[in-house]
Amino acid sequence: MRLLRWELCPNVVLFGESLPQASWHRSMEAIKTAELVLEMSLEVYPVNQLPMMPKGKTVYINLDISQQTTPFDLTVRGK
């Protein structure tokens, strides 16, 4: 019996796969109106573009903050 990918990991986008367009558009609309956005990685495209969109406060949480290029309201070095 052959299992299909979505049976093994539903609602998951793996590296190298594209996000469903509807999900991406909902994410962009939600982040534009968010009062607070917590960002934990700036390495994964296209999600690394989202911290530049909110009108609310932004917080970056990561162990490695040396490569941070996007201005955040607060930066926390940690997990």
pLDDT of residue 70: 66
pLDDT of residue 28: 84
Token pair for 42: 């700036």
pLDDT of residue 8: 56
pLDDT of residue 69: 62
Q: What is the mean pLDDT of the chain?
A: 77
What are the C-alpha distances in Å from 63 to residues 3, 4, 34, 72, 79? 37, 36, 24, 15, 6
pTM of the model: 0.66
Round to the nearest angstrom and report the end-to-end CA distance of the chain.
41
Phi first, then psi: give them for residue 49, nearest 5 degrees: -85, -20
